[in-house]
Amino acid sequence: MDRKTIVSLKNIFFDYGNEVILDGINLDIYDKEFITLLGPSGCGKTTTLRIIGGFIEPKDGDVYFDGERINDIPPYRRNVNTVFQKYALFPHLNVYDNIAFGLRLKKMDKREIENKVKHMLAIVDLKGYEKRKINNLSGGQQQRVAIARALVCDPDVVLLDEPLGALDLKLRKDMQIELKKIQQKTKKTFVYVTHDQEEALTMSDRVVVMNNGHIAQIGTPADIYNEPADAFVADFIGEANIINGVMLGDCRVSILGQEITCVDKGFGKNTPVDVVIRPEDIEVVDPSESVLVGTVEDTIFKGVHYEMSVKCNKCQWIIHSTVAQKVGSTIGMTVDPDNIHIMRKMFLLPNNEIFTTVLYSDEEANTITISIEDNEIEVPNCYYAEGTKLHIILPPSGLHIAGDGVGDLDEVYIESVIWKGEHNEIILESDERKWLMQSDQDEQVATYVPISFDFSKATFEVIEEENADED
Amino acid sequence: MKTKKTAYPYLLWMLLFTIVPICMVAYYAFTDAQGNFTFDTFISAADYSQVFLYSLWVALISTFICLVLAYPLSFMISRCDEHKQSMIIMFIMVPMWMNFLLRIYAWVQILQNYGPLDTLLNFIGIDVTLIGNSGATILGMVYEFLPFMILPIHTVMSKIDNSLIEAAQDLGASRFYVFKNVVFPLSVPGIISGVTMVFVPTASTFLVAQYLGGTQFMIGDVIERVFQSDHHTGSAIALVLMVVILGFLVFMNKFGDEEAVGV
């Protein structure tokens, strides 16, 4: 297969109002490949697609098509066609006229148009539907018309924006296979956007995992599954046990208080890391043969394998195995060092560090008021003189989402939520900085929430200044 | 059925104030002063056929001007963001909060001889009479009824999914082609209700021509005058007008069924 680059994105930046949607996107799309942009909602995948389609212009960076810069070329002059999320079929035209729309614009001969439309209808399995009205078609049929309408124009690149999102599960599975077949039959470059990881793995030659306006990883489905670049990718693609660990040195990591051998080097001693282990990579052994010992809490038969949930030092592990273990039995777990994936933490510090100054203090009530991002926040049960400079270390458990809707900070963006065996590790982004939060609840990524601080868990350090005023 | 019962108050209202009056108009139109059946009323009504045709002509021109003004504006508004849209729509509605008669008086003030506009035009050497002609009547009509053209077209246009426009561009359509083959066909239902909502009142309204049109009255004014002395002829003219408007509505709806499709 030749690896000619057909579309190339260089350092794409895009924002909407104050919100950065895409930052530093670099992507080469090869000719005739099926490439999928995968990520949770709000990660910027649709925006990337719209930039390729020409519906929006990047605020910074360049888009190249076959080596030529096309930033300011309007959609109708790009040899790219799009299958829209809700199909966007013309309701005033019938199936035939919808598909012929693009061809008529090319001033093609009537006979030729007819031949092409007929041929396309055969490919998408809609022979004899020419005269049907769009509104009388089922979702799956509309979907096929939309694909036919895009393909019939013979574009170099076909963009597909979650085209299967509106279909039910069964139809979706069928269409996945069909789409892949159509792509192979027509030998076109497909750029596909989805939030469904299974869909991405099934259909793609390459997958681009996106998170929060960045590309987290690019690779073949197998690469992405077997060698995830960070905890986000590991969590998003397939199932994974993601545990906090600390590197003890090269090839040695400590998890759950046990030292384990791995194959990763160069992280530096005592560096906190994310350790990722796929459920099928864990071997069940006799408790005496392993340092990791746990109790089986639950066993579910999943057809090919059993899914077991094992509690080990407060931490929940998921194991896939063809042999079922009795619920309540104690087992040992070993993992081949090759299958232990060590990743740099996405939030580098273990705690939230706050540098601030005491605005007011009330000795009687034993409270102080500090300012965080221009919000005045009262801290109970502590007293420092007004004007004292403080360094507050707030552990992840000292943050929580304000259930009543009124928090110390409003409108904080949830950047990622990753289950760490015992609790969720959540990375939040406020106006000026990021926060690390621990929560037992599952939260929705890419939403805005109010957060509150629990300073009873924090430690305070006074920053001594040489000529601090003392009243 | 509960839902049917809730319609009763209006049905009663319609019976009392729509059906009964129409029957009364029909009765007067076909009788003379003695209450005998006659067609003479229509013969005397025929005296006003000139005014009648003139009214339809004015209505047609006014509707056309409204359409030409409202269509591009509605299109422009419908592509703005929602906040802007409601803002512009409010500004279009604001004049309607003022009394109808007052607005016509305002135009009289502006257009009258030695009024501000006339003085200005005289000053730069243009000597025209601004008031007392068909032009002034049409101007008044357009001013009065323009919102009724904008609102329905805007409503339909704002419902056109932006992705349809993008899809057309994506398939290679230039702006003009997108407009001609996607936006326009999808906006026809709005045009039809707009035209109906403007044509019908302009054809039958009164006072506008009395104040702005000089001696050129419209059929609404004629009905008002005739009614003061002769209910029977007045009813006959009103009935003819009703039938003509009904014919127009039937025509518009038929045209609409052929062209329009659900969005």
On whether residue A471 sits in a domain, the answer given is: no
pLDDT at B80 over 50: yes
End-to-end CA distance of chain A: 77
pLDDT > 70: percent of chain A: 98
Strand A157-161, strand A189-194: pairing: parallel
Check pLDDT > 50 for residue B261.
no
Containing structural domain, residue A193:
5-232
- My answer on whether A305 and A440 are in the same domain is no
Distance CA A226, CA A267 (A): 20
Same domain, A254 and A287: yes
pLDDT average, residue stretch B111-116: 86
- Predicted confidence band at B60 (pLDDT cuts at 50, 70, 90)? very high
Assess whether A270 and A162 both reside in one domain: no
Whether residue B2 lies inside any domain: the answer is: no
Residues in chain B closer than 8 A to A91 (CB atoms): 186, 261-263
Which of the four pLDDT bands, split at 50, 70 and 90, describes residue A50?
A: very high
Which member of A82, A91, A102 has the closest CB to residue B262?
A91
Average pLDDT over residues A104-130: 88
Reading the block at residue B184, the tokens are 């326009």
ipTM: 0.73
- Residue-wise pLDDT tens digits, A309-332: 998 877 888 999 888 888 888 898
Q: Which residue has the tokens 């005033």?
A: A92
pLDDT higher than 60, residue A470: no
B13 belongs to a structural domain: no
Which two tokens mark B203? 């054809």
CA distance B261 to chain A (A): 6
Q: Using the beta-carbon criterion (under 8 Å), do A91 and B263 form an inter-chain contact?
A: yes
Q: Do residues A65 and A206 both lie within one domain?
A: yes
Nearest CA in chain A to B187: A92
- Domain identity same for A98 and A121: yes
A55, A76, A85: residue with CB nearest B172? A76
Question: For residue A422, what are the CA distances in angstroms to A271, A310, A315, A436, B57?
Answer: 20, 12, 5, 15, 81
How much of chain A exceeds pLDDT 90, in percent?
23
Whether A467 is covered by a domain: the verdict is no
pLDDT at B67: 95
Say whether B261 and A91 touch across the interface (CB within 8 A): yes
Average pLDDT over residues A387-412: 85
Domain boundaries, position B65? 45-259
Averaged pLDDT score across all residues of chain B:
87
pLDDT class of A231 with cuts at 50, 70, 90? confident
Least confident range of A135-139, A264-268, B147-151: A264-268
- Does pLDDT of A446 surpass 80? no
Q: Are residues A330 and A356 in the same domain?
A: no
What is the per-residue pLDDT for A466?
A: 60
| Residue A153, both tokens | 């124009």
Does residue A326 lie within any of the structural domains? yes
Q: Does B159 touch chain A (CB under 8 A)?
A: no
Note whether residue B160 is domain-resident: yes
Provide the pLDDT for residue A388.
85
User: What confidence tens digit (pLDDT) does each residue in A6-41 have?
Assistant: 999 999 999 988 788 899 899 999 999 999 999 888
- Tell me whether residue A469 is in a domain: no
- Verify that A212 and A273 share a domain, yes or no: no
Instruction: Give yes or no: residues A43 and A142 share one domain.
Output: yes
The phi-psi region of residue A21 (left if phi > 0; otherwise alpha if psi is between -120 and 50; otherwise beta) is alpha
Instruction: Please give the pLDDT value at position B259.
Output: 55
Q: What is the CA radius of gyration of chain B?
A: 22
Task: Let me know: does A393 contact A353? Beta carbons within 8 Å.
Answer: yes
CATH of the domain at B195: 1.10.3720.10
Mean pLDDT, all residues of chain A: 87
Nearest by CB to B170, which of A82, A85, A89? A82
Assign A36 to helix, strand or coil: strand
- Residue A152, in any domain of the structure: yes
Task: Check CB contact under 8 Å for B164 and A88.
Answer: yes
Q: Are residues A218 and A165 in the same domain?
A: yes
Question: Where residue A465 falls among pLDDT bands split at 50, 70, 90?
Answer: low
CATH at A299: 2.40.50.140
More confident residue, B59 or A257: B59
Task: Tell me how far apart the alpha carbons of residues B170 and B147 are, in angstroms, rounded to a whole number.
Answer: 34
- State which of A190, A208, A232 marks the end of a domain: A232
A264-279 pLDDT tens trace: 887 888 888 888 899 9
Distance CA A362, CA B80 (A): 52
Q: Is residue B20 in some structural domain?
A: no
Question: How confident is the model over B237-260, as a mean pLDDT?
Answer: 82
In 3-state terms, what secondary structure has residue B180? helix
Give B258: exposed, middle or buried? Use CB within 10 Å, 0-12, 13-18, 19+.
exposed
Residue type, B194: G
B39 vs A471, higher pLDDT:
B39
* Cβ-based neighbours of A13, under 8 Å, separated by 6 or more: A20, A22, A23, A24, A25, A58, A59, A60, A61
**Chain A contact for B258, CB < 8 A?**
no
- Per-residue pLDDT, averaged over B67-90, amounts to 91
Same domain, A57 and A123: yes
DSSP letter assigned to residue A49: H
Among A176, A205, A232, residue at a domain's last position: A232
How many CA atoms lie less than 13 Å away from A128 in the CB half-sphere?
0
Two structure tokens written together for B30:
């076909």
Collapsing DSSP to helix, strand or coil, A321 comes out as: strand
DSSP class of A382: -
Model pLDDT, residue A204: 93
Taking 70 as the threshold, does the pLDDT of residue A405 lie above it? yes
The reply to whether A275 and A358 lie within a common domain is: no
Residue A237 placed within a domain: no
Find chain A residues with C-beta within 8 A of B83's C-beta: none
B247 to chain A, closest Cα gap in Å: 27
Reading the block at residue B123, the tokens are: 């000053």
Cβ of B163 within 8 Å of Cβ of A86? The answer is yes
User: What CATH code is carried by the domain that includes residue A199?
Assistant: 3.40.50.300
The arithmetic mean of pLDDT across residues A229-249, rounded, is: 86
Q: Total structural domains in chain A?
A: 3
Number of domains in chain B: 1
Domain presence at residue A470: no
**Judgement on whether residues A258 and A118 belong to the same structural domain of the protein:** no
Say if B3 falls within a structural domain. Answer: no
Last residue of a domain, one of A205, A232, A259: A232
CB atoms within 10 A of CB B37: 8
Q: How far apart are CA A66 and CA A84, in angstroms?
A: 23
Looking at the domain assignment, is residue A74 inside a domain?
yes
